[in-house]
Amino acid sequence: MPMANRTVDRALVLLGATAIVGPVLLVLVTAVYVGRPSPFLLIPAFILVALILWSDVRLVVRQRWIVAAFALVSQLGLGVFLGTFIGSPLAASAPLADSLPPASPPAGMAIYVLPTGVNHRTAAFAYRGGSPTERWESVLNAVLVRHPKGDLLIDAGLGKTIDSQLKRMPFTFRLATALAPGRTAAEQLEAAGYDLSRLRFILLTHAHWDHVSGAPDLAGIPVLVTAPERRFISEGGWLTVSARDIEPSRLREYAFEGGRYLGFEHSHDFYGDGSVVAVPAPGHTPGSVIVFVNLREKRYAFVGDLVWQRQALVERAERPWFVKRQLDLDPVALQGSLLRMNAVAMRFPEIQIVPSHDPRGYDGIPERPAR
């Protein structure tokens, strides 16, 4: 009989472990899957669900209520975690009353997108309410703005040293990231026969690695940042490893000495003609900005990582809890920036919103830079 009791105890330990630890493993598998969707992750997920349900039934049949109570707590925790992916729109702010700011873009001004790579993710990773079955090709682009007074590059995309930059990032981040680098911005400009002396500066929406990785390749070109973002570069840990590869003397600060712009309190006009205007949009990082580019025929808002998909801006949706926790430095400030930009999008649907990583945001922007 003691032998039989030991067998019974082992079975109970196994059931308890499955019903209690299984949900924790399922949380991890879910977190990796939404960030890096792979059919191979679905196999352990389905096995875990089946094992957890089977263990629950066995615990009830055996009337092991104490173990079952712990299992219930663990599985409720799983439910709460999954609930953080469900849509929960922020309350809208007051409608924007501002009129469209004047702009006098010069003839010949144009923009081009330089695609430097893709991250394979799901919409569930991008925003609350995004579907885990919807693939999101998170593009990593630089945008060239041609201007007679000198061109600028909005962000720099992935650079040629991205592999060594990635090695300095946490293992868990690399585990949930499936990066497919392409040609760098510097390589594309060279292949197009672009005269680099025309490139006046690189303007960062923010200093995260995926926006500045290619900046060191464009040696000597000044990199424009806000004061808070400059501090963040030195203090931002692994998220700004690429930015710390930029020669510090290349970093140039600019201030928001300009007045109110589309509901944002301050602004900076880079050419003095209203064609390229940045406004502070803190939250994702301390010195994140939105860059408005106003061509004669169309207006754009390059919103950086304020949101990852345009749908998130329309639906006033934050990133899911575990993503927000890791990547948004000040979620409360981010809510304010998001709601301000939502009001702009609602009042002026003709402005094309371009989140850095949303392929649909770049619709109609040509790829190949002209000479």
Name the DSSP class of 308: S
Whole-angstrom distance, CA of residue 169 vs CA of residue 174: 7
# binding residues, Zn ion (CB under 5 A): 3
| Residue (251 or 307) nearer to Zn ion, CB | 307
Q: Which is nearer to Zn ion, 81 or 302 (CB)?
A: 302
Residue 208 in contact with Zn ion, rule: CB under 5 A:
yes
Selected range binding Zn ion among 17-25, 154-162, 168-176, 206-214, rule: CB under 5 A: 206-214
Nearer to Zn ion among residue 305 and residue 318 (C-beta): 305
The dihedral formed by the CA atoms of 293, 360, 286 and 314, expressed in degrees to the nearest 10: 100
Residue 75 contacts residue 53 (beta carbons within 8 Å): no
Q: Which stretch binds Zn ion (CB under 5 A): 74-82, 122-130, 149-157, 210-218?
A: 210-218
Residue number, 275 or 356, with CB nearest to Zn ion = 356
Phi, psi for 338 (deg, rounded to 5): -65, -45
- Return all residues near 336 (Cβ < 8 A) that are at least 6 apart: 283
Q: How many residues does the chain have?
A: 371
Nearest distance from C-beta of residue 284 to Zn ion, angstroms = 5
Q: Does 305 bind Zn ion (CB under 5 A)?
A: yes
State yes or no: residue 210 binds Zn ion (CB under 5 A): yes
Q: Is 210 exposed, middle or buried (0-12, 13-18, 19+ CB in 10 A)?
A: buried
**Residue 121 found at the interface with Zn ion (CB under 5 A):** no
Q: Which stretch binds Zn ion (CB under 5 A): 89-97, 151-159, 208-216, 336-344?
A: 208-216
**17 alpha carbon, distance to own chain's centre:** 36
* Choices 126-134, 253-261, 293-301, 302-310; region in contact with Zn ion by CB under 5 A: 302-310
Q: Is 340 in the site for Zn ion (CB under 5 A)?
A: no
Question: Tokens 């934050």, residue?
Answer: 318
Residues lying near Zn ion in the complex (CB under 5 A) are found at 208, 210, 305
